Amino acid sequence: MKAVARLVWSYFTGTPVLRACTIGGLVLMIVDFYILMTQPHSGEKLWLAVMGLSFFFIGSALMPVMFGRLARSHAIGVLPGGRLKLLISMFVTILVVAIPVGALAPASFISGNSSVPEIMKDPRARDYVLQLTGITFTWVVLFASWMYLAMWFLTSQRNMAGLFKGLLVITLVIFAPAREVRDLTVTLSWNLQQIAVLWTVFGAGFLLWPRFKVARARRNRGLSNSLGRALAGKTMGREFDVLLGTSNPWLLTAALLLPLILATRFVGEFPAVWLFFLTIFSVVTGALSGQAGERSRALWLRGDWSRASLFAAVERSIWRQNFHVLGALMLFNIGIGVYAHFSATLLMTGVPLLVLGTLLSTYLGLMITRGLRWLEILSGIGVMLLLMFLAVFVAREDVELVTVFSLEFGLAGIAIALRFIARRRWTQIDWMMCRPDRALTARGA
Amino acid sequence: MFILNPQSGVPIYRQILEQVRRMVASGQLPPGTALPSVRDLALRHTINPMTISRAYSILETEGLLERHRGRPMTVASQARNHSQLPKRLQQIGPLVEQTVVAAKQLHLSEAELLKDIRREWEQNDD
Amino acid sequence: MTDATVEASNLSKSFGDKQVLQDMSFGVSPGDVIGVLGKNGAGKTTLLELMLGFTPPSAGAVRVFGHDSYSLPGDIKVRVGFVPQQDELLDQLTVGDQLRVIASFYPHWDSALIDRLCGEWGVNVHARIKSMSVGERQKLSILLAFGHKPELLILDEPVASLDPIARRQFLEQLLTISADGERSIVFSSHIVSDIERLANRIWILKEGRLDWQGDLDSLKESIVRLHIRSTAPELPAFKIPGVLNLRRDGAFATAVVRDWTPEAQETLEKNASVQIEVETLGLEEIFVELHR
């Protein structure tokens, strides 16, 4: 159990940046809790807690990556109950993240409606508060489980398959738990059932994975090899792209479209949510361009380029891929828009959003030339929040075209600034700092 | 032909030097014998060829080996004679020193040691 | 001076406030095979990657074929080969594809050589990299650096995961490469016996500095263990220049010294009236003694 505790501790305190996030988030939440409990009708102060929770969640963002690395390491198979302890540590982390929310929900209810002593006297109110706590807590556990799972797929697999799985999970999350909250169909027992099923399936799969790998290794490799070659795409003539990871835009497009189609099928009625979704998916390009720094290491010694001209070549390669994705997304956007009878205004303002999303995330990713640090994380989060806010804003009924377009121009300006920064940073790119494990090896993970 | 130990504290070139000198002096390498080429030797023992060519160069300077264009190095025809007495004695020096030191440690007298050596000499005459 | 393959002067590197390399000056000449030894964390990888411009120096400069490493031009890059410590293989490709991809970047790629080595080293051209063992991956990484016949080959722990037979094959190939005396090889390894076979020069990295830089032969002749015996019952007090490690035991003493010469032996034997027996040390022993 000590091993589990140590694991959980290291998830939250992985690097100095994340440690600061964890502590900052915790402080904000405690402060808000105190305010809610002692001052009546202070429900508006809940935003403090939301911010705190976001930071707290970010503080544990390293968890899926560390989880992935440990799961694949040799040591975990050798240590007694290694995989089980790892699994438990992930569950405990989720519980820890859920506790603040579980405490804040009833606190905000109490603050908005009465006070603690009053609640304690009334049995019905007490029951209600308890139920609220239970439902909120279990819902957050469920939601967090899905989100971490998605992050694990996205970060530790580092290829198309992982991307695909991660996006699929995010789609399902928006579908099931988020939708229930929106429709107010959440119940305690249903939450518990979902948690039970999810964790049983995931837990069983995780623990049995080693045996599955052995069994799979014995099977005929022929089919998987030819499939792999097909997925890897044409390599002749596109070797630069192959090394950079941008050689198969069709696969990326397919990986994005499939979850998108699923999402549209289930949440297609609400333009706001739908646009929000679309924006998120155009952000995927950022994940890929974020890897460009690392992957270009293999290109440094293999061509007559300076760091500056390498940036230009990398940028070209990424945009060649982006065009495919953007093209597909835009067609999809317009197709769905016509089918769902979106207004022409919505279409006109929505398409630039896609372009903006791709632009912004591409250059945010290209800014990562010395590993992920404060600047990159904060600017990434800031810009993405702006984009999502714009997406929701655009879908409003009463929106003014002028406002929307000026906001979009503003964001385009930010994108150009980001490109300038990225290009300058590339002239100083330091490949020894780009290593993905740098943050983790520093902690001896 | 050679017994080379890369892990020894004695540099490889020196090992080659000692062995060639000894073999030439003892007649194991008669004049005119071709020595393996640097490259062959390097590959056979998996060692750096530069250390071998260093040894060969030194031996050439000492007059023990002769270089020929396009052919492997050979033992010089005057090699045996060139190996003068002091040099040959120098070859055996370390062994003599070890023997004397060991004998002293065992508290053997000079006479006892010499008697032993004489006996060994006679026995080894075949 | 400008004939040197690599030249570094007062090279320093720090990451943030952590100083990894301090004030290093060294050179690599054509035909050199340099073995780089050092404890884990001594800065070997940093040194090798600095030499090729993957990271900028914090102070000083390093030049390859006369050009500053940080901005190597293309015609120099084709003359250089590098095997990094962590491989850069793409899991989804087959061995053949990976070779073809890398080969496409070089105008002169010796496919015949690579095919032959794949056969000799047992590398399956049709295997998918994802399914390969660590040893096979390492062999492939090495092959990727051989194909364009570089004049300067830099390898960072290239044989860490290879079995003795594979290592021997690799050493033989390196020997063949360096046989013409024009190519230079710099490689770091923990396997001291390999370095002893192959290297003619040794760099010993200790705490970010080049503790030793010179011929392997001179190193072995210069760092020795002395067995000192006194004729008197107690060993008199004496001073040995360049001593690394000294142990006294009554009338005996053992000392490991550096920069040893036969003259030093004579002087010491006369001045301190002791008898000295010199024991030569293998490279691993020398390395350990330098780090005591």
Q: Tell me if B9 and C281 make a contact (CB, 8 A cut-off).
A: yes
Range of the domain at B90: 85-123
The pairing of beta strand C224-230 with beta strand C80-83 = unpaired
pLDDT tens figures, A164-177: 677 777 777 766 66
- Is there a single domain that holds both residue C57 and residue C141? yes
- Could you tell me which residues come within 8 angstroms of residue C58 by beta carbon, excluding any fewer than 6 positions away? C12, C13, C14
H or E element that contains A403? helix A401-426
pLDDT mean over C1-14: 85
Partner C contacted by A242 (CB < 8 A): yes
Q: CA-CA distance, A268 to A262, in Å (whole number)?
A: 9
Q: A227: nearest CA in chain C?
A: C92
Residues of A in contact with C131 (CB under 8 A): 217, 221
- Is there a single domain that holds both residue B42 and residue B71? yes
pLDDT of residue A440: 36
pLDDT tens figures, A369-414: 887 777 777 787 788 778 877 877 777 767 778 888 888 889 899 9
- Which residues face C243 on adjacent strands? C257
pLDDT of residue A266: 63
Could you give the percent of chain C with pLDDT greater than 90? 63
**From the CB coordinates, do chains B and A have 3 or more pairs under 8 Å?**
no
pLDDT of residue A211: 76
- Is there a single domain that holds both residue C253 and residue C161? no
C108: left (phi over 0), alpha (psi -120 to 50) or beta: beta
Q: How many domains in chain C?
A: 2
pLDDT mean over B8-24: 91
Q: CA-CA distance, A67 to C48, in Å (whole number)?
A: 32
The type of residue at A365 is: G
- CATH code at position C93: 3.40.50.300
- Is there a single domain that holds both residue C208 and residue C113? yes
Which of these, C210, C151, C201, C287, lies nearest to B54 by C-alpha position? C201
pLDDT of residue A119: 67
- Is there a single domain that holds both residue C25 and residue C80? yes
- Which residues face C40 on adjacent strands? none
- Which residues face A202 on adjacent strands? none
User: Smallest CA–CA separation between A21 and chain C, in Å?
Assistant: 22
- Could you tell me which residues come within 8 angstroms of residue C48 by beta carbon, excluding any fewer than 6 positions away? C36, C82, C154, C156, C186, C188
- Is there a single domain that holds both residue C79 and residue C141? yes
SS3 A399: coil
In this structure, is residue B7 part of a structural domain? no
In this structure, what are the phi and psi dihedrals at residue C34, rounded to the nearest 5 degrees? -110, 125
- Is there a single domain that holds both residue C249 and residue C175? no
DSSP E strands, B2-115: 65-68, 71-75
The total of other beta-carbon atoms located within 10 Å of residue A378's CB is 11
pLDDT of residue A438: 42
* Maximum alpha-carbon separation in chain C: 74
Question: Which value does ipTM take for this structure?
Answer: 0.88
- Is there a single domain that holds both residue B74 and residue B31? yes
Residues of C in contact with A294 (CB under 8 A): none
Could you say which residues from 320 to 349 on chain A have a Cβ atom under 8 Å away from some Cβ of chain C?
none
pLDDT mean over B95-102: 88
pLDDT mean over A416-435: 91
Binned at pLDDT 50, 70 and 90, residue C164 comes out as: very high
Chain-wide mean pLDDT for chain C? 89
- Is there a single domain that holds both residue C154 and residue C43? yes
pLDDT mean over A294-321: 92
pLDDT of residue A445: 26
- Out of A377-386, B74-83, C33-42, C174-183, pick the least confident: B74-83
Partner B contacted by C282 (CB < 8 A): yes
Contact present, C282 and B9 (Cβ < 8 Å): yes
pLDDT tens figures, C208-246: 899 999 999 999 999 999 888 877 766 666 677 788 888
Partner B contacted by C199 (CB < 8 A): yes
Q: CA-CA distance, C135 to C124, in Å (whole number)?
A: 13
Query: Is the CA virtual torsion C75, C80, C83, C84 positive or negative?
Result: negative
SS3 B71: strand
In this structure, is residue C156 part of a structural domain? yes
Which of these, B19, B15, B36, lies nearest to B28 by C-alpha position? B19
Q: Is residue A124's pLDDT more than 60?
A: yes
* Facing B43 at nearest CB: one of C172, C199, C221: C172
In this structure, is residue C1 part of a structural domain? no
Domain boundary among C219, C245, C272: C219
pLDDT of residue A62: 72
- CATH code at position B59: 1.10.10.10
The type of residue at C21 is: L
- Is there a single domain that holds both residue C153 and residue C189? yes
Chains that touch A (3 or more CB pairs under 8 A): C
Question: Which segments of A160-306 does DSSP mark as H helices, in order?
Answer: 160-173, 179-183, 188-218, 222-232, 239-244, 249-267, 271-282, 284-290, 292-295, 297-300
Cβ-in-10-Å burial (0-12, 13-18, 19+) of A264 comes to buried
The type of residue at C259 is: D
Contact present, C220 and C189 (Cβ < 8 Å): no
Kindly state the DSSP code that residue A13 receives in the 8-state scheme: T
Residues of B in contact with C179 (CB under 8 A): 39, 42, 49
- Is there a single domain that holds both residue B114 and residue B56? no
- Is there a single domain that holds both residue C45 and residue C115? yes
The total of other beta-carbon atoms located within 10 Å of residue A385's CB is 11
pLDDT mean over A60-74: 76
In DSSP notation, chain C reads -TT-SEEEEEEEEEETTEEEEEEEEEEE-TT-EEEEEE-TTSSHHHHHHHHTTSS--SEEEEEETTEEGGG--HHHHTTEEEE-SS----TTSBHHHHHHHHHTT-S---HHHHHHHHHHHT--TTSBGGG--HHHHHHHHHHHHHTT--SEEEEESTTTT--HHHHHHHHHHHHHHHTTS--EEEEE-S-HHHHHHH-SEEEEEETTEEEEEEEHHHHHHHSEEEEEEESSSSPPP---TTEEEEEEETTEEEEEESS--HHHHHHHHHHHTEEEEEEE--HHHHHHHHT-
pLDDT of residue C248: 82
- Is there a single domain that holds both residue C245 and residue C175? no
H or E element that contains B96? helix B85-105
Q: Which pTM does this prediction carry?
A: 0.77
- Is there a single domain that holds both residue B30 and residue B70? yes
Q: Is residue C251's pLDDT more than 50?
A: yes
Q: Is residue C38's pLDDT more than 80?
A: yes
Domain boundary among C219, C254, C272: C219
- Could you tell me which residues come within 8 angstroms of residue C219 by beta carbon, excluding any fewer than 6 positions away? C202, C212, C283, C286
Q: Is residue B45's pLDDT more than 80?
A: yes
pLDDT of residue C270: 78
Cβ-in-10-Å burial (0-12, 13-18, 19+) of A335 comes to exposed
Place of tokens 């070659």: A229
Q: CA-CA distance, A301 to C71, in Å (whole number)?
A: 11
- Is there a single domain that holds both residue C24 and residue C105? yes
In this structure, is residue C80 part of a structural domain? yes
